[in-house]
Amino acid sequence: MTAKPVTPLVEMDRAEVIAGNGFAGQDILSVSQFNRENLAYIFDKAQAMRALVETDGMSDLLRGNVLTCLFYEPSTRTSASFIAAMERLGGSVIPITQGVQFSSVSKGETLADTVRTLEQYSDAIVLRHPEIGAAKIAADYAEVPVINAGDGAGEHPTQALLDLFTIQQELGRIDGLKIAMVGDLRYGRTVHSLTKLLTQYDVTLRFVSPEILRLPLVVMNEVIDAGIPVRETHDVADVIENADVLYVTRVQKERFVDMAQYEAVKDQHEITIELMAHAKERMVVMHPLPRVGEIHYAVDHDPRAAYFRQVRNGMFIRMALLAAVLGEK
């Protein structure tokens, strides 16, 4: 990062962070910790973070704070954006994001011992782990806040926050929208978290997937219990004309035991410019990334393709969240 002058964030001093949110010192494990009110708080702060980055590049709000990024699964965006977010707020990072197989984990150390060690060096831990519930286990042992950066096919709350923030930024609202989720709805943790968050809004949901990758019943039940109008289909053509948001996902190869099954479904949904011709003029195509062919490169030139703007929003959201969690000492 280029060195920019360090400017204290006047509108976001520690006192305001303490008074303005309930996140100080909290673990962030699931989207169920968020309601419309504190989402609005985080989104406001994310907007302020955007302004901060675009004017000064960074602040010293979190100077003296150290964040450990402990990633047991591959990551590009999530780890890089947490690192960027922390550094732009003047904090520093212990990145254990590659080669966890070379660390003590490969010697048989338990997750509990690893987090109890790493918290001796740091003020918060961001954890990505292949098992559902791992972030909760880590949080039970750690005294510092644990932020879930993806627990297997479970949840990915910070991705859902940035997804929802992107919808709001792109379309100016969330209520009243028709949102279609496409791809691997069974194993896609970003879909689970975003769907749960959306149940708090007045939206219509459409789920498009191969039969074996349908949304898990427990998530679907939350949608139904919330009274959200919902329909499932196997074909994107059924939803393209009415969708305000097309949220496309990768088939999660790493979660399959039977590779023949993966091969059978991996190319079922592809977003092409021909398909986009049927979509509303004002809609957005989103993707948590990485993509492996679900959205053709030609679509990238369409102004409705929001996935790289979505990536950038991730940094602002993570800045807002880190400030909220670590702002109080």
Interface residues toward ligand NCD, by CB under 6 A: 77-78, 150, 156, 159, 189-190, 249-250, 252, 288-289
Structure tokens at 18: 């303490």
Q: Report CA torsion sign: 21, 26, 30, 32.
A: negative
Amino acid present at 194: L
Query: Rounded to whole angstroms, how far apart are CA atoms 221 and 285?
Result: 26
Taking a C-beta distance cutoff of 8 angstroms, is the pair 213, 265 a contact?
Answer: yes
- Which amino acids are annotated catalytic? 77-78, 107, 128, 156
Q: At what angle do helices 217-225 and 189-198 cross, to 10 degrees?
A: 10
Reduced to 3 states (helix: H, G, I; strand: E, B; else coil), residue 34 is coil
Query: Rounded to whole angstroms, how far apart are CA atoms 67 and 70?
Result: 10
The DSSP secondary-structure symbol of 146 reads E
**Smallest distance from the beta carbon of 150 to ligand NCD, in angstroms?**
5
Residue 247: phi and psi, rounded to 5, are -100, 105
91/314 with CB nearer ligand NCD: 314
Q: At what angle do helices 189-198 and 157-171 cross, to 10 degrees?
A: 60
Residue 11: closest CA among 43, 59, 54, 57: 59
Structure tokens at 153: 């096919």
**Smallest distance from the beta carbon of 163 to ligand NCD, in angstroms?**
9
Taking a C-beta distance cutoff of 8 angstroms, is the pair 310, 284 a contact?
Answer: no
CA distances to 118, 177, 229, 240, 248 from 284, in Å: 40, 11, 20, 11, 11
**Smallest distance from the beta carbon of 81 to ligand NCD, in angstroms?**
9
**Smallest distance from the beta carbon of 318 to ligand NCD, in angstroms?**
11
**Smallest distance from the beta carbon of 19 to ligand NCD, in angstroms?**
31
Query: Rounded to whole angstroms, how far apart are CA atoms 122 and 68?
Result: 6
253/278 with CB nearer ligand NCD: 253
Torsion of CA 75, 81, 84, 85, to 10 degrees: -140
Q: Residue 217, class by beta-carbon neighbours within 10 Å (0-12 exposed, 13-18 middle, 19+ buried)?
A: exposed
